[in-house]
Structure 1
Amino acid sequence: MSAGADGVVAGDEEAGVTARLDLFRYLTADLGAEYRAIMTLFTSTLLADLSASEVSDGLAARGTVLSVDDVTTRCEQLERWGNLVRGIRDARVATVQDYVRSRARYQASKLGVRVHREAEALLAAGDGAREVARELLGATAETLDRIVARMTAASDARPVNAEALSGDVTTVFNNQRLFSDSVRDFYAYVNTVLTRYDLAGEEYQQFKRLLLDYIDLLTADVARHAPVVARRFAALEPLLDDVLAAMAELPTLADGNAERLPGRTREDWENVRGWYTGADGRSGPETLRLAADQALGQLLANTKRMLASAGTGVSRRGDLLKLASWFDAADPDQAHALYAAAFGTYPARHLLGGPEEPDPRDGATTSWWAATPVEVPMSLRERGDRGARGRTSSVPDPVAAGGWDEGTEGATQLRGARPAEPDAAQEEERPASPARRRVMMAGAALAVVLVAVGGVLGAGALRGEPEVEPTATAGNGIPIPEQVPSPVDLAGTRDGATVTFTWGVPEELEGEEGVTFTWQRTEPGADPQVHPAEEPQAVVEEAPGQVCLSVKVRLPNGTTSSQAAQSCVP
């Protein structure tokens, strides 16, 4: 076959699939209830051939009132979807108008009948668990015994009863299909319940009994009957060709496109036998055992969750159902207000906070979509954690760092600057703690420094010297500039999964003692912990992706750079 012919065949197959999918459209159409009522009328009897007026009368008798014109429109649409076909029966009418109306008669198509039957069965099905037809396993073994007995007893003088044999074969395959469908539906229900995180209370107790009792019973029946059925299939294998030949003598449909009953081909028998023996992979009994183990394991996981002290502890299912009932009873305006109150979806409002706004163009009427983005800390953005990470810098004691001594002149001035000493009775009632003594010394030391600085400035002014602004110093004499500079020449190099960063000391602080550094990673998803560094170097290990580093200078008094130096290595 040529490529063009293959394309035509593929296009025809796709068109056929699309046409069959149209058979389901009436179920979800805008007038789905009316379409379903019409299809129910057509499928309620055999060989129904109805006109629009007859359909209208039949619907009225069932409680659905539709005019003849509306019924005609609905039937024409169902015909386009393939659910109905035109009838050809001649109608006996009294007037020309009745003839025009009855000229268009409709019948339900074969696929339309099947789709409607399955749809109505699905709509009528309950939400609970479906019982498994486990008793059919034993019945299947007995039916296979009868088939083997019939074929073994057959001879030329006494041929096999083909009608009875055909009935036994159909029973075997119908039993297998019903059992398989009920097992799938049961475990589908089990799976929907197991995936619920809010399973608790009486509902959990009922489901636990269902799993522990019913699944155990089902597993035991499968373990008892499945090997027996498999042995019966093995015994029937040498006789299978004779079974198929005997059933082939029965009258059947001559149409090549007709759907045959199951069990009339060797392929059907191999598929059923493979379910028990696992010829094409995992067998059906093994699949059922694994499903039971998985269900029981999930039940234990839910039990541990409910018993764990770190779990949620309380199911919110009742609250959510209550909220759903409020939505169901609310009108549109109340529903909008309830939704906003329940989920916090209020209208966007950008309130102008004052002159410290980073961009004065962001006013009260500016949408959040167009406003300047707000900086969100990485810990809050990545982990939802507002807590500070890393070590907290200690606050240095400037008095202790200055090295005050009781024998110095400053100490003498300190004693002179102290207030009057309390009497002995007051001193006994309130003994001085070390923290209180440090506070007193710090205040006195500050007074002495101010007096000394004032004296120097005053002496310089008397001599006519220009005024010199005092310079603050760190604890070890390092001058503290107005802004601590950032490190210089920050750069990184990669060696496999290890990245090494180096930087330089700012020119203002070169040669000073006590200068250290702090660094932290800033790429998305990295741990933002701040690390101290004595040397201008940082090594990041096990970092196969991009690494970004932020480095600051730290003075002995704890002051750090106002702006960090940053660099990234891909």
Structure 2
Amino acid sequence: MSEVDFRPFAHLSAPNAELYRRIMGSFVRAKLRFIVHLRPEDVHEVIGGDLPSIVDALSRLVDWGNLRADPDTSRVTTVEDFHRARFLYQLTHAGEAAEQAVASYDEALGRRGALQAVALTDIATQLRALLELVHQDDPDPAKVHLSLRSLVDRFTDLADNAQAFMSSLQRTIDLHDADLDAFRAYKDRLIDYLERFIKDLVATGGEIAALVGDIEQIGVARLLDVAAEREAADAAPGVGEDGDDPRQVEFERGRLRWLDRWRGFRGWFISEPQHPSQAKLLRARARTAIPQLLQVVATLNERRAGRSDRSADFRSLARWFAQAPREEDMHRLWRAAFGLSPSRHLVAENDEADNPVPANTPWAQAPPLEISPRLRKTGSYERRGKPNRIVDRSAQRQYLAEFAAKEAAETAAARRALVTEHPTRLTDLGELDPAAFRLFLHLLGDALAARAPGQHTVITTTTDGTMTIRLTSLDDGRKAEIHTPQGVFRGPDHLVEIIDLTVEEHVEQSA
């Protein structure tokens, strides 16, 4: 396969692309009027501008293969005129093809499309004609071929227009600057248009699906073979077919083409497992577009009501920054606008945990923060590659077990020191070690918190259910003193009875 030459498209990205497009457009319009050749003066008369620039542009287009230059000898009257470069220019096949491609591209981008409910009716009509033909034992090949061609052409037009319409609809939904009143009027017409098409698609689409099913049940392959055979009747012999019948070769190709077209047509109206039909998807997309259009109207209403969008907020913020009198005010405005506090690292070293730095300490006065080079380079303390070996934590587990046992022993000793066999004054508790005193404060706090106003006696149990305290207030006005290594605890004297429930449970289980 020869290499494709794309030089005829080079003028689209050249510095003077607009001039080249106008020149090529003048040649295309001239050909529509059956004018083959144009002189530089003719082009200048059509597009205007500077004639020397047009001559240079024509030469460049000739170099790219868009135009062909032929010597212009019709107006030669002297030897000097003969030696002067004069050319007639005309479109080449490559240049004409490039212009057609560009025109198709522009048309596809600017095409709005339409949801053609009339096309659905035409497709149903063609399918009814095919259903009549498929019932015949010997259908007319011309009628079969024309019916299938009409069906394909109408369906292709429907699919292309639907695709273009949904694309233009999405561009409408995504608009940012629009007049509210104009869009409201357009929105009402568009929603009515969508609703009418959805109704027609539901009604006519169901009929089309039923007709397709009936035709396939009787035998659509026979009709497709008839159409392919009619197309292959006038096939010309080709090179390299090794004596094969060209009509048979073309028949096989045409048969495969018609099968593919029918499968695509069927998939447009009939759903398969895990594959909804294109008509169903189009109907869903049209339904989704209606609330999206209403959302666009709501957004436009918010803009007209004065609600600022993000871009307006940032413009106001920029104006405030410009009007800030001092740099300190700019920093304060920054923190207020974005809610950004001073940075804090998630990982703290041991010395930082022991000696924390206050949050209001300026960075210039704070001690330097040492960061691991690996963390700074990779963002992780762990190195990439082979994972580390499993660390033996036996010593740590043993330490934790011993620490837990020590705490349990201290708690049990504190309970034994606080347990009273009968109601006892607080003064008679004597001296308490730090562990017992902490436990006593918890018990006393629970009892005082549970006592209601005017209540003399209160009974409460700790949250873990291990101890009960009965506290009774006295009216003799005496003060209680409890001695601890840290000092003396003083307060109104009470009668207190502390019971260790774990000991009672143990005794009951032993009994």
State the TM-score, normalizing by the size of structure 1: 0.46
For residue 229 of structure 1, the aligned residue among 164, 186, 208 is 208
Does the C-alpha gap of structure 1 residues 349 and 213 become closer, same or farther in structure 2, counting only changes over 3 Å? closer
Does the C-alpha gap of structure 1 residues 101 and 146 become closer, same or farther in structure 2, counting only changes over 3 Å? farther
* Secondary structure, counterpart of 2:160 in structure 1: helix
Superposition pairs for residues 226-265 of structure 1, below 5 Å?
Answer: 226-234=205-213, 235=215, 237-239=220-222, 240-250=224-234, 265=258
* Secondary structure, counterpart of 2:358 in structure 1: strand
Match of 1:384 in 2: 338
Q: Conserved in 2, the CA contact under 8 Å of 1:59 and 1:65?
A: yes
In structure 1, the gaps of 5 or more residues are: 1-8, 321-339, 354-372, 390-489, 494-499, 505-548, 555-559
Is 1:275–2:268 an aligned residue pair? yes
Q: Conserved in 2, the CA contact under 8 Å of 1:551 and 1:566?
A: no
Match of 1:38 in 2: 26
Q: Conserved in 1, the CA contact under 8 Å of 2:27 and 2:91?
A: no
Partners of 2:199 and 2:267 lie apart in 1 by 20
Q: Conserved in 1, the CA contact under 8 Å of 2:270 and 2:277?
A: yes
TM-superposed deviation, 1:145: 2.8
For residue 314 of structure 1, the aligned residue among 306, 309, 312 is 306
Partners of 2:207 and 2:305 lie apart in 1 by 48
Could you tell which deviates more after superposition, 279-288 or 182-191?
279-288
Q: Conserved in 2, the CA contact under 8 Å of 1:137 and 1:226?
A: yes
Deviations 1:431-466 (A, max 9, x none): xxxxxxxxxxxxxxxxxxxxxxxxxxxxxxxxxxxx
Q: Conserved in 2, the CA contact under 8 Å of 1:141 and 1:225?
A: yes
Q: Conserved in 2, the CA contact under 8 Å of 1:276 and 1:284?
A: yes
Superposition pairs for residues 289-438 of structure 1, below 5 Å?
Answer: 289-302=283-296, 313-314=305-306, 377=331, 380=334, 384-385=338-339
Does the C-alpha gap of structure 1 residues 152 and 202 become closer, same or farther in structure 2, counting only changes over 3 Å? same
Q: Conserved in 2, the CA contact under 8 Å of 1:83 and 1:113?
A: no
Partners of 1:273 and 1:32 lie apart in 2 by 46
Is 1:140–2:123 an aligned residue pair? yes
Is 1:112–2:98 an aligned residue pair? yes
Match of 1:176 in 2: 155
Aligned identity (percent) is: 14
TM-superposed deviation, 1:503: 1.7
Count of aligned residue pairs for this structure pair: 343
Match of 1:551 in 2: 358
Deviations 1:404-457 (A, max 9, x none): xxxxxxxxxxxxxxxxxxxxxxxxxxxxxxxxxxxxxxxxxxxxxxxxxxxxxx
Match of 1:502 in 2: 353
| Paired AA for residue 104 in structure 2 | E
Match of 1:203 in 2: 182
Q: Conserved in 2, the CA contact under 8 Å of 1:137 and 1:225?
A: yes
TM-superposed deviation, 1:209: 0.8
Match of 1:78 in 2: 61
Partners of 1:17 and 1:146 lie apart in 2 by 47
Partners of 1:206 and 1:383 lie apart in 2 by 39
State the TM-score, normalizing by the size of structure 2: 0.50
Partners of 2:256 and 2:48 lie apart in 1 by 43
Partners of 1:165 and 1:192 lie apart in 2 by 41
Q: Conserved in 2, the CA contact under 8 Å of 1:551 and 1:564?
A: no
Does the C-alpha gap of structure 1 residues 551 and 44 become closer, same or farther in structure 2, counting only changes over 3 Å? same
Does the C-alpha gap of structure 1 residues 76 and 200 become closer, same or farther in structure 2, counting only changes over 3 Å? closer
Partners of 2:271 and 2:8 lie apart in 1 by 34
Does the C-alpha gap of structure 1 residues 350 and 134 become closer, same or farther in structure 2, counting only changes over 3 Å? closer
Superposition pairs for residues 534-549 of structure 1, below 5 Å?
Answer: none
In structure 2, the gaps of 5 or more residues are: 241-252, 372-380, 382-511
Partners of 1:561 and 1:492 lie apart in 2 by 18
Partners of 1:492 and 1:132 lie apart in 2 by 68
Larger helix proportion, structure 1 or 2?
A: 2
| Paired AA for residue 273 in structure 1 | R
Partners of 1:350 and 1:81 lie apart in 2 by 59
Does the C-alpha gap of structure 1 residues 102 and 210 become closer, same or farther in structure 2, counting only changes over 3 Å? same
TM-superposed deviation, 1:153: 3.7
Q: Conserved in 2, the CA contact under 8 Å of 1:276 and 1:283?
A: yes
